[in-house]
Structure 1
């Protein structure tokens, strides 16, 4: 068994990550679940041993941890356990010949970059402000294609985190949630958007600041109600705009939901409703911050989802040390090194 436990609350700084030597970086990666020194054979459930393809006679006195080298891409797991199986007439001795690359299913699989460069790239990506592509290209000296590929890998991790967290409801009895809509991006001519952009619906819980932002294709009551039921708990006091896109009064839509209530605010009249003191300034402020992070050029729907996921992650972890720790934990969730998909039967005579 490994003596290195999974890290749950470390707070590494950028400087600490950059100054790590190979052994320190190896412990960091194992403790955050990006690599492992323990592997169970998917066929016989026995412990696998780590081998170096370039060494014909491995040192069996070394532990798997000692064999790990971050610069060696030719490491592999192997199981050679034997067992007796009853045949037609007598028992047969069979051998498990399971084999898998040490780097398979990890965040570093099939990459030509060094492990150190990838780790530093992740840290710079998650701590720097947009636009990032030029900054990362200048900092690391990678080709633009390489930088874009790794930025996309990071966005996949953030989208995975966003999908899991957007499924959690906010609000509840006695809590207030602000709900509003906004259009992100799009080319603007003479003060009016000509084409492009992405409409989103967002909500924020005033007490905890938990929030959601969901891209939408159609702005209608059915879409609105579906999102509200999915993201906001019953009994929540909802503060929202009077949207012109709905035929019936918005309060009728919200009051049809059990335990929920709408307090309308019309920004064309006042930012704060004079009668009820209701406003949606918190969610509107978040929309403004999000728009600053999005490039002005034409983007696809996928691009907007990426920027939304990144914005929500950074907002959820405002402390840089917490953010660095969490991004590596999220990478390990999506790229689990212990997940071996090859379930073929490797037992042979």
Structure 2
């Protein structure tokens, strides 16, 4: 993975709450590097967010078309162009104002930019838990829960938007379906929600998630052909919809979850995809 050099410019679109643009997928910046170069330096921090598409780099006044000036102290773009309403009146300053954070990941947040970025770093790491976030960032459990839920929603949307085949010869892809929804009166079985079909490659950790209307063989097979390369070893539970996979160019292994977590003969299991579901629900 290529290093992300501090101050390097990246061609990426603005990531807003309604737009999951792809940003800087080939760079790496360690937690230590971030602390040394960006922590406590607000100007560098804003530049980092702009270079990675998290904040807009420029804004134009909708009234006069003038390019606005970024005021870091006020965290906003402002238009200072002078104009005359009429020939008889003195010139006035436009004073159009646009918050630097409006429509972005940071809008509406009571946390500063640095804290939000640190939270995101911890959230996507392998060591995320409430105790660590409370200790490192001083956030309340309510704030941690809100940001965790929001981050999870964005990640789920990102996963669903991906369209890439995974697997191939000599690789193993685990597949499974899960239903995401609400429980009636918080007890009993799930009575409403959305079926999601997913798969994860053990070797590369690449995965896909696709909302489906049902779990029929025709529906799931269509998704499998779209997302999994032929000749892949596919591991699933014993759901009857998967019985056709051997006839479709895949090597198919199953595990009977009513009897074992791991098949005693083939060693087949779906622990990796099951973990993905748990991470999405936590």
1:14 and 2:31 equivalent? yes
Cα pair 1:179 1:201 within 8 Å, conserved:
no
* Consecutive unaligned residues in structure 1, runs of 5 or more: 51-66, 85-92, 186-193, 273-278, 295-302, 308-349
Distance in structure 1 (CA, Å) of the matches to 2:69 and 2:61: 10
Q: How many residues align?
A: 240
Distance change in 2, residues 1:262/1:47 (3 Å): same
Deviates further, 221-230 or 142-151: 221-230
Question: Are 1:183 and 1:200, in contact at CA under 8 Å, matched by a contact in 2?
Answer: yes
How far did residue 208 of structure 1 move?
5.0
| Map of 2:97 onto structure 1 | 99
Q: Does 1:144 align with 2:141?
A: yes
Cα offsets for 1:242-300 (capped at 9, x unmatched): 864427x823x664xxxx4143434457543xxxxxx755xx24135436x54xxxxxx
Shift of 1:68: 1.5
**CA–CA distance in structure 2, aligned partners of residues 250 and 128 of structure 1:** 35
Given that 2:174 and 2:272 are in contact with CA atoms closer than 8 Å, whether structure 1 keeps it comes out as no
Q: Is it true that 1:261 corresponds to 2:249 in the alignment?
A: yes
Q: Kindly report which structure 2 residues correspond to 1:225-304, keeping only aligned pairs within 5 A, or say none.
A: 225-232=221-228, 236-240=230-234, 244-246=238-240, 250-251=243-244, 255=247, 260-267=248-255, 271-272=265-266, 280=268, 284-287=270-273, 289-290=275-276, 294=279, 304=281
* Higher RCO (C-alpha under 8 Å, 6+ residues apart): 1
Kept in 2, the 8 Å contact 1:30–1:36? The answer is yes
Question: Which residue does 2:110 correspond to in 1?
Answer: 112
Where 1:219 maps in the other structure, the secondary structure is coil
1:181 and 1:201 in contact (8 A); partners too: yes
Partner in structure 2 of residue 35 of structure 1: 55
Larger radius of gyration: 1
Matched with 1:203 is: 199
Q: 1:149: how far off?
A: 1.7
3-state SS in 2 of match to 1:127: coil
Match of 2:219 in 1: 223
- Cα distance in structure 2, aligned partners of 1:206 and 1:124: 24
Residues 164-193 of structure 1: CA deviation (Å, up to 9, x unaligned): 22x223357x686635326699xxxxxxxx
**SS of residue paired to 1:237:** coil
> Which structure 2 residue ranges, 5 or more long, are not aligned?
1-6, 12-23, 86-90, 181-187, 257-262
What TM-score do the two structures reach when normalised by structure 2? Answer: 0.63
Taking only aligned residues, the RMSD between alpha carbons, in angstroms, comes to 4.3
| 1:11-47 deviation per Cα after TM superposition (whole angstroms, max 9, x unaligned) | 3221232342323323322322223442234566541
Q: 1:139 to 1:239 in 2, by over 3 A?
A: same
Q: Structure 1-normalised TM-score?
A: 0.53
Q: Is the 8 A contact 1:78 1:100 kept in 2?
A: no
- Label 1:239 to 1:289 Cα distance change in 2 as closer, same or farther (>3 A): same
